[in-house]
Structure 1
């Protein structure tokens, strides 16, 4: 990494990089571009053919292309392209082994999926199911109650939330289940219906979902009794008689009881407080439990505003179904979106090896002795086109970089604040992090507006798994509070780890 002069714009920083490798010439030969790819971007597999391919892709001046050179404008286009995004582009498609049993995956999961507001007087709406499915959610919750005219209804029981018809929910699921992902959708039914209306529910499930519904055991070759995500069907969870083939919900008694008595096709569901206590006092046993069984964690009933817990603490023990209120933006959903943009955004992410081996007992609450740490250097260089607040006031932006992982790896650091500059703020700030279990870590970039000595407002963020982090000079896209792109707003950073 070369120390550059302090330009006032990202374009100036890119110009410095270009000049360093152009050696005083006005164009960059393919051999010099290859040197840049190797030394700065750590694209060690790149060869001269790869460099020539980039020239053909991003250079528009014909003479330069003919002489296999890149002008600064072509180099600038390359540096602003997806080829230089901080997120590993091969991870935008499904690349992981999808033939492991379901217990081997983190599965994007929603709590009270039907709600678009709070849990007391909020609205229940079919659009909430569409939104969750389009965000890659693969486990939907449906709270079912007896309705008038023998029509089961869905709402948050004993509250003033509005009601929708069960049959309309299932129709919506049938229409949208596989728009974004081809992998299984798990329907978690919280069933409060009479036997008569349960029969109506069963009729709708079979008649509406048809052959998309998994209603017989699969002939599969995995290490357990659960199928792999490659068995692409809608799976019904909880207790609805003969339709529940896998993921039958059972009460958690103890890890010892589960080890001796629980079937692999049964899953345990528990509130965050109980799960948090188990993770704290029996983390090692929790990890081993989640190697054999599915566990679903859901927000505490006291979260009447539909707020969320931090999902990272339960991913740390290998819980697969860490259910969040998708309608509630904030840090927990940023982490969820970051975790599940991996593996093509299909809603299934293979758990890291540290959670799947029984040879070395992993306890996320303990320091990881004997494992050499990973050292991460992040240089936050500059920003570009940051969105202004509705008031139209100019920003005083700073960047906070957060590491989310096991307790000892969690950390955060800030740049200084740049006054009155949303167009091209320049920070040029080095940050060093020591990480013991990088495969569990998420890295979150958050741009904030300094509004007072100790106060700041959210501007934009981007979260990604450490395992998807590209080395070198990279740009970081920014997302809004509700998970939408803020393009062209972005950051420019340098990444190195060893």
Structure 2
């Protein structure tokens, strides 16, 4: 990696790279491009064919293309393409083994999915289900209560939240369940209905969902295991006994009780405070429990504003169904989006081997002695086209890089602030991190505007799993609070780890 002088634009940083491999020529021959791919981008499988393909794809100057060379403009197009994105494009498709039991996956999970606002007077709306499903959510919550005219309704009981019809929720699920993912949707029904209205619910489930509804147990070769997520089905949890198949909710008593008495098709659901205490005191047992059973964690009742906890603390013990308020923006949902961007955004991400090994006991809160650490070097070089606030005033931007993983791996480092530059701020800041369990880590790039000595405002962020991060010179596509793209706003970074 070369130390670059401070250029006037991001184009300048890339120009430096181009010139260092073009050796004074006006174009970059295919052989020099291949050398760049090997040495700087650490694309170890790249060969002459790879270089030829990139020239064909990004070089529009015919003379250069015909002579298997790349002009600076072609090189720039390549460097700002998805082929140079920090997120490994191989991970934009489902690439993980999808034949493991459901307990082997993190599953994107929503809490009180129907709400668009707070937990007390917020509005319930069908759009909330559509938004969650389009984000790849695979576990939806439906709180069911008796409604007038024998029509069950969905709302947050004993509050002033508005009500929507159960049949409309199921129709919405039917229409949107498999738009972005072909893998199972779990319906977590919190059932408060009378027997008569439960029968109405069962009729709607079978009548509306039809053969999309999994209502019989699947044959599974491994006795005592949950099925894999291969079936494109809707799975009902928590209620309506004749339709419940694999996710019957049971009260958690203790890990020893679960080991001796819990059926593999039953899942435990617990609030964040209880789960946090168990993770802190009995982390190894929690990890082991989650190797066989599903556990669902939900936000504390005190979070009336629909705020969220940090989901990482429960992924660290292998909990599959870590439920968040999808309508609430901020760091917890950024982490959720980052985690489930992996594996094609299908809503199922295979848990790392450290959480699934029956030979080794893993305690995320304990000492990781004997583990060979991974050393991560991140150079935050520059930014480009950062969004300016409504006032039109240029930003005073800085970048914060956060590592979210087991407690001993969590850290954050910050660049200096560049004054009055939204277009092309230059930091050239080196950051070093030491990670014990990188396979559990998420990396979050956060751009902020320095507004005072100790105050700053959010500008944009991007979060991704550590092992979805490509080495070499990469651009980081920034996202807004709601997760939407801020294109062309981006960061230019260098990534290396051992």
> Could you state the TM-score of these two structures normalised by the residue count of structure 2?
0.99
* 2:165 is the alignment partner of 1:154: no
Corresponding position of 2:22: 22
| 1:451 alignment partner in structure 2 | 451
Counterpart CA distance in 1 for 2:411 and 2:337 is 20
Question: Take 2:30 and 2:224, find their aligned partners in 1: how far apart are those partners?
Answer: 51
Where does 1:334-373 land on structure 2 (aligned, <5 Å)?
Answer: 334-373=334-373
Residues 223, 393 of structure 1: alpha-carbon distance in 2 compared, 3 angstrom cutoff: farther
Distance in 2 of aligned mates of 1:490 and 1:345: 21
- 1:232 to partner: Cα distance: 1.5
Matches within 5 A, 1:400-479: 400-479=400-479
Cα separation, 2, equivalents of 1:7 and 1:390: 28
Aligned to 2:349, the other structure's residue is in SS state strand
Contact 1:138 1:186 in 2 (8 A): yes
Q: Which digits, 9 at most, give the CA deviation of each residue in 1:277-324, with x for residues without a partner?
A: 000000000000000000000000000000000000000000000000
Task: Indicate the residue corresponding to 2:193 in structure 1.
Answer: 193
Query: How far apart are the structure 2 equivalents of 1:51 and 1:110?
Result: 44
Note closer, same or farther for the CA distance 1:328–1:53 as it changes in structure 2 (3 Å cut): same
* SS of 1:322 mapped into structure 2: strand
Distance across 1 between alignment mates of 2:348 and 2:175: 20
Contact 1:324 1:333 in 2 (8 A): yes
Question: Is the CA contact (8 Å cut-off) linking 1:101 and 1:222 kept in structure 2?
Answer: no
Whether the aligned pair in 2 keeps the contact of 1:30 and 1:69 (CA below 8 Å) is yes
1:49 to 2:49 alignment: yes
- Matched residues, number: 498
**Counterparts of residues 482-497 of structure 1 (less than 5 Å):** 482-497=482-497
**Superposition deviation, residue 239 in structure 1:** 2.1
How far apart, CA to CA, are the structure 1 residues paired with 2:166 and 2:241?
A: 17
Q: 1:6 and 1:450 mapped to 2: Cα distance?
A: 22
- Within 2, Cα distance between the matches of 1:401 and 1:474? 15
Q: TM-score, normalised by structure 1?
A: 0.99
CA distance, structure 2, for counterparts of residue 455 and residue 111 of structure 1: 32
Q: Following the alignment from structure 1 to structure 2, what is the Cα–Cα distance between the partners of residues 271 and 354?
A: 25
Secondary structure of 1:180 counterpart: coil
Shift of 1:171: 0.2
- SS state at 2:242 partner: helix
* Residues 1:215 and 2:188 aligned together: no
* Residue 160 of structure 1, CA deviation: 0.3
8 Å CA contact 1:101, 1:224 repeated in 2: no
| Cross-structure match for 2:306 | 306
> Could you tell me which residue of structure 1 aligns to residue 252 of structure 2?
252
- The answer as to whether partners of 1:94 and 1:344 remain within 8 angstroms in 2 is yes
What is the distance in 2 between the residues matched to 1:31 and 1:225?
52
Secondary structure, counterpart of 2:495 in structure 1: strand
C-alpha displacement of 1:243: 0.3
Look up the SS of the partner of 1:428 in the other structure.
strand
Alpha-carbon separation, structure 2, partners of 1:141 and 1:361: 32
Counterparts of 1:80 and 1:39, CA distance in 2: 19
Distance in 2 between residues matched to 1:148 and 1:61, nearest whole Å: 70
CA distance in 2, matches of 1:308, 1:337: 14
Shift of 1:222: 4.1
Deviation, structure 1 residue 8: 2.1
- Following the alignment from structure 1 to structure 2, what is the Cα–Cα distance between the partners of residues 399 and 221? 50
**Matches of 2:19 and 2:393, distance apart in 1:** 36
> What pairs with 1:221-236 in structure 2 (closer than 5 Å)?
221-222=221-222, 224-236=224-236
Deviations 1:37-89 (A, max 9, x none): 00000001000111011000000011111110000000000000000000000
Q: Tell me the distance in 2 between the aligned counterparts of 1:224 and 1:96.
A: 23
Report if the CA contact (8 A) 1:126-1:168 is conserved. yes
- More deviation, 439-448/230-239: 230-239
Alignment match, 2:240: 240
1:183 maps to what in 2? 183
SS at match of 2:24: coil
Distance in 1 (alpha carbons) for counterparts of 2:17 and 2:247: 54
Deviations 1:133-152 (A, max 9, x none): 00000000000000000000
Structure 1 stretch displaced more, 244-253 or 2-11 = 2-11
CA separation in 2, counterparts of 1:366 and 1:445?
Answer: 27
Look up the SS of the partner of 1:304 in the other structure. Answer: coil
CA distance in 2, matches of 1:493, 1:225: 44
Provide the secondary structure at the position in 1 that maps to 2:358.
coil
Return the offset for 1:225: 2.9
Deviation at 1:224, TM superposition (A): 3.9
8 Å contact kept, 1:107–1:138 = yes
Residue 173 of structure 1 deviates from its aligned partner by 0.2
